[in-house]
Structure 1
Amino acid sequence: MENQNSDTFRRLSTGVPGLDTVLAGGLTRDRLYLVEGEPGTGKTTLALQFLNEGVRQGESGLYITLAETAVELRAVAAAHGWDMAGIAIEEILPDENSLAPDQQYTIFHPSEIELGLTSQRIVAAIERTRPVRVVLDSLSELQLLAENALRYRRHVLALKQYLSSRCCTTIFLDDRTALSTDLQVRSVAHGVITLDVAHQAYGGERRRLRVVKYRGIAFAGGAHDYRIATGGLRVYPRLVAAESRVSDTRRQLSSGLASLDQLLGGGLEEGMSTLITGPAGSGKSTLSTQFVAAAAARGEPCAMFLFEESRNNLLNRSDALGMNLSGLVRGGLLTVQQIDPAELSPGQFSQAVVDAAGDGARIIVIDSLNGYMNAVPDERFMATYLHELLTYLGQRGVVTIVVAVQSGVLGHQYGSSGVDASYIADNVIMLRYFETQGTLKQAISVAKKRGSSHERTIRAFAVEHQGVAVGHVLQDFHGILTGVPRILPAAALNQPKAAED
C-alpha cells in the first residue's frame, strides 16, 4: 500500500480549458471527486478529457464503465479527436445471458450478488492496471444495486478508502437517474462539480458549471458558462473584476479629429468607458469607428465586437468613408468579431473580450448595448455583467466604447428594455437629430466625462463622404435636445455669453 498524498498543493490538471482556473489550479492528487449532471451535460466528455490529460502527462488512466460499452466510449473519443491510447477501459456490464429465464435469481436478491461481483471486478481492474487517474461511470448503477442508503454509503466509503490507498485521483460520474436523489456521495467526496443545461425559448442551450464544494481550496464560486465542441468542454470562468486591480499612468487617446478632441477635452482617457447614445442612423457606429481607425493608424491594436451589423458591411462602409478598416484588419492591428447573441453565452462573450484585452487591444468597441442585452438571458443582471466587464477593462487601461440605440428618431429612451447604462459608463456622448427649416440635422454633445473637463456645448455633427465631421457650436438654436428647436432672435444672439462653470 502506498502513502496517500497529504499536500493540497500537489495538483493534477483536469485537461479542461478554464476549469483549472475555477478550481484554483486543478484537482488535489489522490482524492475522490464527484461530477454530477443530467444526461447530455457533458460528464463523459469531461472525464475523457481528464484521462487524456493524464496520458499527456505520462500518467496511466482507467475508465470503469457500468453503463456504456468500450466501443461507445471510443466512438465518443474519436468524435473529439482522441485515440484513447494509454487509457484502459474496464466494462462491467450485465451479460446478455442474464436475459434468459433460467438465469434469474430466485433465492437471493440481485443486489446481494451483483454488487459484490461488481466490486471485485473494480478492484481487480485497478490492481491490474495500477492507474494514476480513475473514472467510474456511473454511480447510479451502484446506487440501484445497493438498494438502500446505508449500504450505498458504506460501499462508496470503502471504494474511496481503497482508491486513496492506491494513490488514485478518481472522478465518480453521477447522471442523477437513480430512483431517488441521494446526497451521500457529496458528503464523502473531496470535491463536487455540477453541470447544468438550461433550454432557452430561442437559440442554443445555456450550459453552466458550478463547484459545489472543494475542501481546503479557495475555488471560484458561482455559475460559470461552458460549452461542448469538437475537442471537449471549454469553461469560461465568471469574470470578477476585483481580482485584477492594477494602477498605472493614464494618457489620452486622440480621435484623430481636432474638433472632436476639443469637444472631449483632449480625447478619451485610457481605462475609461464611453457610452455613445443616439437614435438609429445618427452615426454612433461610425463615430466609434473613428476612434478605432485613429488608434490603429498610430499602431495601437484595437478590437470590435458586432452584435447587429455584419462584419462585411462594417468594413465596406468604413472603407468607403476613408477609414481603411480592411487594411487595418489585414495588418493585424484590428480584429472584428461578429457575435450571434442567440448562440453565445455571457461567459463566452466576456472571455472573448478579455482575450482581446490580453492580446494588447487598447480600444475595444461593443456595438451595441442592445445586442449585448440579448446575450444576457436575465436582464436583471445585465448591469452587473456590464459593470464587471467595463471595470475589468478599465483596470487594464483599455478604452471601452459601448454603443446604445435609443428608441424613436427624436426619443430619449433606450430600447424596449428600458435599462439605462449611462451611470455605469465614465463618459457619455450623445448624438441627436433635430429638425430645422424642413431639414433633418444632427448634433453631438458630451453629457458626462470623468477623466477631464470637456466642452458643455452642442456642436453640429455629420457623416460625410470623407468621414465624421464635427462642426461649429449650434449657438443659434434653443432646445436642440428636444428634437424641435427654435431659432433664437438676433437680439438674443448679441447678448454677452454667460460665464462658464
Structure 2
Amino acid sequence: MVTSPTDSETETDPDDETSGGDTDRLSSGIEGLDTVLGEGFLRGYHYLIRGTPGAGKTVLGWHFLVADDGTGALYVTFEERPEKIRRNAASLGIDLDGVTILDLSPEGRSFVEGGSYDVFAPSTVEYEALTDRVRTQVEASPPARVLLDPVTQLRYLAPDEYQFRRELLSLMDLLTEQGATVLFTSQASPVTPDSDLQFMSDGIVELSRPNGGRVLEVPKFRGADVATGPHAVVLGHSGMSVYPRVVPDHDERPFVRELASSGISALDDLLHGGIELGTTTLFSGPTGIGKTTVAALFLIEAARRGNHSILYHLEEKPATFVERCASIGSPVTELLEAGTLDVVSVTPSLLTVGEFLARVQTDVTDETTFVMIDGVQGFEKLTNLSAEQEELSALRSYLTARGVTVVLTDEMPNVTGDFRPTKSGETAIADNIVFMRYLEFNGELHRAIGVLKKRTSDFEHRLRQFEITEQGVAVGDPLTGLSGVLTGDPQWVGTDTEREEVL
C-alpha cells in the first residue's frame, strides 16, 4: 500500500497549460516510480535521467525498455558494447534479449568512412554519421520506447555546443514524431554541466546518493502532476525498487475520544483512564528500565480484545520479547497464533527508511488499531534517513490519519542525573509522553514512572513507583514523600511511616 500523489503534494511545469490533462501513459517498469509519476511517463515525451555516477540511471532505463517485454524498444548505447550491457542487466534479473540495441560505442563506430574510430578524427563528419545512423534505425522500425545512454558522449563529439543542441533536438523531434517515448541519460560534471539538457527535456528524473543510500526526485514533469520527493531507491538482485515518500491523507478521521487501556488500573490512572485511540504516545527512559514491557501492555491488551496490533522491534529479536513476556506472566504466544498481534524484527543497517516505511504501509490493514516502533534510536540508523528525521513524523501522521494508535519507545543515555524526557526531535510528534526514571536509595535502584504531557486531557501530576516481577508490571500508589526526582538528586521529605511504605 503506497500513497498516491495529491494536488498539494505535487509539482508541475508552470509554463505548461496542459497540466493534468494527458492520461496516455507508459509504465516505467518500476511500480514505485509509476506511483511517483502518477502511472508512468507520458507517451511521446522525452525525459532526462540525470544523477551522480552509480546512482542507477542506466538501470532505470533498462526497466523502462523491458516494461513491455522489450517489444518495440530501442537502446542506443554511446558507451558500452551490447554484450556487456546484456550481461550486466542479466545480473540484476533484467532480460534485454527482446530489446534492439544500436551500438554507437567507440568500438562500434567502424561504420564511419575513413577507417577506425579516432576521437581526433573530423568530428563533424563522425557526429553527423552517428545521428544519421539513429535516424535510419528509427525510420526503418519506429520504436515505442527509446533509451539514449548517455547523450553526454554526443556532446564530446559535437563540434560545438550549438551543433550538439541542434542535432539532439532534431533527433528528439524525430523520435517523438514517430510516437516514441524517450529517456536519455546524462553524466554531468562541473566541466560539462547539463543545464541545457534540463531545459530541453519534458521532464527530469534525478538520482542521487546522500547519506550512504540512493534517492530519486522529479523536479520537472510537463503535462501532469507528480509526487514530490525525495523517494528512496534500492538497487538489488531484482534491479531497481522505488519507495514513494509517505504522504499523510488529508481527509483525516474526526477525533473521537475513546480510551485504550493497558490492563493495569494504576497505570491507566496515571493517564486519566488510558491513552486516546488515534494518538501518538512516547515512552522514554534509560536502558533496562522497562520501556518496551510497559509500552507493549497497550498492544497486548488491544490484541486480547481482538484488535490487530503490530510491534516493530528495531533493537531486539522477537523471540526475546516473547520470552520476556512469558517470564512476567504475560504470554503472547496465543495472540501471535491468533493473528491479533504481530511482532516484526527489523535490522536498521540492512534497510533504507523507504523500505521500512513501505513495509509498515503494507502491514497495516483496516483492522489495525496499534502500531509500536520499539527503539526510535534504531529508526535513526535506517539508511537514507534525513537529518531532521521527517520520515518518522510523516509515518506517524500517515498512521494516525487512519485511526491507528502509535506507540514509540526512546532510550535516554543517562541512568540517573539531569532529567531529559526525550530527544529534541520526538517531543513535537508525541501527543503523550510517559517517562521512567531510576531512583537510588541506600544502594538500591528503584523505578518511577510519570506523565509529562497529554494533549487531549489532563493527567496525574505525581510520580508512581513501579516494579516488573514474575507476576507482571505492578504500579504503586503516587510517591508523595520524594522531592527532586527530576533533578537527579531525590530527597525524602515525607514521614518515616511513608518511607517504609514506599521503600
| Range class of TM-score, shorter chain | 0.7 to 0.9
What's the counterpart of residue 16 of structure 2?
Answer: none
**Cα drift, residue 186 of structure 1:** 1.1
Q: Which amino acid aligns with 2:388?
A: F
2:105 to 82, 85, 93: 93
TM-score under structure 1 length normalisation: 0.86
The correspondence for 1:319, drawn from 318, 323, 326, is 326
Distance 1:33 1:331, change over 3 A: same
The residue number in structure 1 matching 2:343 is 336
Aligned to 1:429: 434
Q: Report the alpha carbon displacement of residue 326 of structure 1 after superposing the two structures with TM.
A: 4.4
Question: Are 1:74 and 2:86 an aligned pair?
Answer: yes
The secondary structure found in structure 2 opposite 1:39 is: coil
Corresponding residue for residue 33 of structure 1: 47
Q: What is the 5 A alignment of 1:216-231? A: 216-231=223-238
- One of 123, 129, 141 as aligned partner of 2:141: 129
Distance 1:438 1:295 in 2: 38
Answer with 437-446 or 207-216: which moved more.
437-446
Alpha-carbon separation, structure 2, partners of 1:150 and 1:492: 89
Is 1:394 aligned to residue 400 of structure 2? yes
Partner-residue secondary structure (3-state), 1:261: helix
Q: Amino acid of the residue matched to residue 43 of structure 1?
A: K
Structure 1 range deviating more: 312-321 or 401-410:
312-321
**Residues in 2 aligned to 1:352 and 1:244: alpha-carbon distance in whole angstroms:** 22
1:310 counterpart residue number: 317
Q: What TM-score, normalized by structure 2, do the two folds share?
A: 0.85
Q: C-alpha separation between the residues in 2 aligned to 1:408 and 1:309?
A: 20
The residue identity in structure 2 corresponding to 1:426 is D
Q: Percent identity?
A: 33
SS at match of 2:364: helix
Q: Contact 2:277–2:405 (CA<8 Å) still a contact in 1?
A: yes
Task: Specify which of 14, 17, 20 is matched with residue 34 of structure 2.
Answer: 20
Distance 2:248 2:417 in 1: 34
* Amino acid across the alignment from 2:348: P
More moved, 231-240 vs 268-277: 231-240
Aligned to 1:498: none
8 Å contact from structure 2 (residues 450, 464) kept in 1: yes
**The residue matched to 1:103 in structure 2 has which SS?**
coil
Residue 421 of structure 1 aligns to a residue whose secondary structure is: helix
Q: Give matches, 1:236-385, under 5 Å.
A: 236-241=243-248, 243=250, 245-247=252-254, 249=256, 251-358=258-365, 360-375=367-382, 380-382=387-389, 384-385=390-391
Relative to structure 2, which stretch is displaced further, 274-283 or 362-371?
362-371
Contact 1:223–1:238 at 8 Å: present in 2 too?
yes
> Distance in 2 between the 1:392 and 1:208 partners?
21
Corresponding residue number in structure 2 for 1:470? 475
Aligned residue-pair number: 477
| Secondary structure in structure 1 of the residue aligned to 2:69 | helix
Q: Structure 2 matches for 1:403-418, cutoff 5 A?
A: 403-414=409-420
What is the deviation of 1:169?
A: 0.8
How far apart in 2 are the matches of 1:396 and 1:39?
40
Moved over 6 A (4+): 376-379, 490-493
Residues 82-231 of structure 1 aligned to structure 2 (within 5 Å):
82-95=94-107, 103=115, 109-176=121-188, 180-198=192-210, 205-231=212-238
Aligned to 1:65: 77
Distance 1:105 1:278, change over 3 A: closer
Q: Which residue does 2:4 correspond to in 1?
A: none
Please tell me the residue identity of whatever aligns with 1:18.
G
Q: Is the 8 A contact 1:225 1:235 kept in 2?
A: yes
- Give the whole-Å Cα distance in 1 for the aligned partners of 2:72 and 2:110: 33
